[in-house]
Amino acid sequence: MFALIARVKNLLLSPGTEWDVIDREAAQPTQLLLRYVAPLAAIPAVAILIGLSVLGVQVGGQWYRAPVLEVALSALVFFALSIVGVLVFATIINWLAPKFGAARSYRQAFKVSAYSITAAMVAGVLAVAPALHIFALLGATYSLYLLFVGTPKVMHAQEKSAVNYSIVATFAAIVLALLVGLATMAAAAPSGNLFPQLPHIPALWGAAPEPLPAAGVSTEAAPLPASAGSLSAGGGGVVTGGDLRAAAPQKLAGLNRVSVGVERSGLEGQRTVNVEAEYRDGRRQILLQVLYSRTIAQRLGFGGPSTSEFDRETADGYSRRRRVGDAIVVEEWNNISQTGSYGRLVEDRFYVKASGGGGVSPEDLRRAVELFGQATLAQVEAES
């Protein structure tokens, strides 16, 4: 471990001198792969997992986390392809050698390939925070510089061809890196976009996200009537206690429910109830949330008679907040990512929101929210 850290430090701070040292070493490819390449490739892989599934990302003022298994797969694929990329790139460098007056030597070529990724892999730790991704890109750029310096030194190209060898190797590295990135996205998320499927982190009101299950009503059904008096659990009847999960229908917009959960927090008489359910079919996904709290309007930042209304449209989509009867409706939609949300605040105590993307429409989101009538929300309050 100390040897690895020393090698990283020396390559980053004095690459010219360190490449001369590397040139004289007799390290075997297998040894380098296990002791150097694999540990470094694990850095961005772990950072991706932590950044997307543990910390989450902020989009449109809301926090999202990607499903752990999906991101873990993406990170694992990235790790494996990084290893394969080093092996393939070593082969390319070795194949190019005679064209620039250098002798072929896979061992030397592998040293160039293995050590040139150092800066990019170390900078990969910044993948934990989207705001730092620009610095990770700088790390990748510095890796290209390491490659440019190291290729002629380790492969012993003729002096008149050394620069051309470095240039060709650098372009080959860029192309290979792009292929690794595209292959990672294609293998781990066929949509090429994890985030239309991300679960919502309700950071605005401080409630921890809970996965969900629930009841058998589809979005094709009419909104629940005010006289219903209870939550519909697929077959009717009063739903109590933990059965508040049954407030979430088994299907929304033709999507099957994949998770459901209920969370209660706070003291008796002042509790917050949060019901969340996720629906998914391939890329199409909807996250449904039903929230009851006497202070929800304060936490959301709107509610009461002084709430402002707005209607903004751009080429990319729209953002609206308006009064509909005694409710406040908030809508957002992005035409580029095809994602959005529809929320409704009633009596400054009940907030029902559906967000999603990947093929669902704004109308799907609206109908999902309108499943919850006055009596349904009153039942949620009664169970708080």
Among the ranges given (4-13, 88-97, 125-134, 163-172), the one the predictor scored with the smallest mean pLDDT: 125-134
**Which residue has 């190209």 as its token pair?**
157
Handedness of CA 12, 137, 54, 213 (dihedral sign): negative
User: To the nearest whole number, what is the mean pLDDT of the chain?
Assistant: 77
Q: What is the mean pLDDT of residues 42-49?
A: 86
Average pLDDT, integer, range 156-178: 89
Q: Cα 120 vs. chain centroid, distance in angstroms? A: 20
Written as one string, the DSSP assignment of 25-48 is ----HHHHIIIIIHHHHHHHHHHH
Q: Which amino acid is at 19?
A: W
Q: Which residue has the higher pLDDT, 212 or 271?
A: 271
* Between 62 and 46, residue with greater pLDDT: 46
| pLDDT reading at 281 higher than 60 | yes
Residue 221 pLDDT level (bands cut at 50, 70, 90): very low
Please check the confidence at residue 39 and state whether its pLDDT lies above 50. Answer: yes
pLDDT band with cut points at 50, 70 and 90 for residue 96: very high
Reported confidence tier of residue 307, pLDDT bands at 50, 70, 90 = confident
Query: Where does the chain have alpha helices with state H?
Result: 2-13, 15-24, 29-32, 38-49, 68-96, 106-116, 118-123, 133-155, 162-188, 296-300, 362-369, 374-382
pLDDT band (50, 70, 90) for residue 37: very high
375's tokens: 């009596």
Give the least confident one: 46-60, 215-229, 280-294: 215-229
Q: Would you say residue 237 has pLDDT above 60?
A: no
pLDDT (mean) for 136-154: 87
Q: How far is CA 191 from CA 52, 77, 253, 359, in A?
A: 16, 16, 19, 11
Q: What's the confidence (pLDDT) of residue 113?
A: 92
- What pLDDT score was predicted for residue 375? 61
Determine which of 83-92, 142-151, 237-246 has the lowest per-residue pLDDT on average. 237-246
The distance of Cα 318 from the centroid of its chain, to the nearest Å, equals 23
| 136: pLDDT strictly greater than 70 | yes
- pLDDT for residue 33: 92
pLDDT tier for residue 34 given thresholds of 50, 70 and 90: very high
Q: Which residue has the higher pLDDT, 234 or 101?
A: 101
83-88-90 Cα angle (round to 5): 100
Q: What angle do CA 273, 65, 282 make, to 5 degrees?
A: 100
The pLDDT score that the predictor gives to residue 341 is 92
pLDDT for residue 188:
52
Euclidean distance between CA atoms 173 and 165, whole angstroms: 12
CA distance 261 to 211: 5
Q: Which of 125-129, 156-160, 311-315 has the lowest mean pLDDT?
A: 125-129
Confidence band for 383, pLDDT divided at 50, 70 and 90: low
Residues 313-342 have a mean pLDDT of 89
User: Is the four-CA dihedral 122, 124, 125, 130 of positive or negative sign?
Assistant: positive
pLDDT band at residue 65 under the 50/70/90 scheme: low
The model's pTM is 0.50
